[in-house]
Amino acid sequence: MSTVRVRFAPSPTGYLHIGGARTALFNWLFARHNNGVFILRIEDTDRSRSTEEYIDAIIDGMKWLGLDWDEGPYRQTERMDIYRSYVQRLLDEGKAYYCYCTPEELEQRRQAALKEGKGTLKYDGRCRDLKTPPPDRKPVVRFKMPQMGQTVVDDLIRGKVVYENEQLDDFIILRSDGTPTYNFVVVVDDVEMGITHVIRGDDHLNNTPKQIHIYKAFNFEVPQFAHLPMILGSDKTRLSKRHGATSVQAYREMGYLPEALVNYLVRLGWSYGDQEIFTKEELIEKFTLDNVGKAAAAFNPDKLLWLNGQYLKNTPTERLVDLVRPFLVKEGIISEDESLDREWLKKAVDSQKERAKTLVELAQSMRYYIEEDVQYDEMAKEKFLNEKTLPYLKDIRDGIAALADFTEEALERLFKEVMEKHETKLKHIAQPVRVALTGGTKSPGIFEVIEIIGRAKTLRRLDRAIGMIKGDE
């Protein structure tokens, strides 16, 4: 059996799209599962829309997702001589021909066909057997498609798909400016790179019969095709920006973990029993095309957010410390060159990671640990920082100032003493202290919060709350 060789071949006309990332992932998993080769190829022949920025962004996105490639990245713009030599071979063998019809003439004929109610608006083939070319016209090159019979695509996901050849066009393989077209170069590249399986989105399915005939014209072996179902938005239309973020880069900037995004993408169209969460090693072991469905998959941002929260919760704190730092800078909580004690930071991250769904949320939740002061939530301030709670705040403040041992255990004892003195419950004391220290009513355990904020900052914030209640500020 020959070695499995697959490729991901994005066009660099934008950032790495969620759909493209899933195609890359399925190819990568298929290669890894079969001990095969995964190739990255940049299809940059559309020079008007392809940019270096997008090429860099695609490569960066692939690296971030952990989808390493074995060969490439190849770039089509560096392979033009190869494509032209293949075009010449077809011309020499009478399997392609020069077409001198202008775009204006083609449009006129299309409009006439529409008026006559013709079902197909394909090229009429008038240059197929042209003996005398018209002067002063730059021709395109068209491929001679069979005009009778059927073309059958044996798709590994969709099964047998049949096309009537009479419906298929003699399509252009070389433009008048000398640049080759997608359907031609993709075949040449796949042959030259030894691709055994073409795994791609089903928006390419209608290109497949054209490509099959190019393989056959050169007597090349046709690879196996597998067309993945589309990804739809919540309203069952094709996933687009109106459904929210659609690029891998956007999710990275929103604080998602790459392994969470990989796990989510693989479940868009592929399943393995009821299992939801997979390690990359499990995915490599279990992934086959047999478990890819035919139906379109719906992208659910809430499900992705939940999954990311699960991954955050289970990521070692040591790693999260490094991951959250850029977001602390981005959120304006620390400066680029500000240093924080690593052991302290680990405590701060550890206290919040089970509550956060993204790295942005994690960074924001740490704001009250780091900044000098806090902004009070108005409703929380009105409810918990008042004359009734003033005695509790004063006793806690004085107790913290006098503590010889500033630990969670010592703080717990202090709160218990104040509870007994005022004959009240812990929540009636803890909540005013929480609002004074964090500005809001939700946080990790109050003793843990106080220890992380530190004695000096805690005393300053309690003094401020007490002063505010007394009308000193």
Q: Which residues are catalytic?
A: 241
Alpha carbons 434 and 384: distance in angstroms, whole number: 9
Helix residue spans in 195-315 (DSSP H): 208-217, 248-253, 258-266, 280-286, 301-314
**How far, rounded to the nearest angstrom, does the alpha carbon of residue 430 sit from its chain's CA centroid?**
42
> Quick check: 327 and 359 in contact, CB under 8 A?
yes
Residues near 259 by Cβ (< 8 Å), separated by ≥ 6? 66, 280, 311
Q: Which residue has the tokens 């004074």?
A: 436
Q: Cβ contacts of residue 289 below 8 Å, gap of 6+?
A: 30, 156, 157, 199, 226
DSSP class of residue 202?
G
Phi–psi pair at 174, nearest 5 degrees: -140, 125
**Cβ-contact 156, 168 below 8 angstroms:** no
CA dist 41 and 57 (Å) reads 14
Cβ pair 465, 385 in contact under 8 A:
yes
**Beta strand pairing status for 172-174 and 140-143?**
antiparallel
* Structure tokens belonging to residue 422: 């005022």
Backbone angle region of 4, left / alpha / beta, with phi > 0 → left and psi within -120 to 50 → alpha: beta
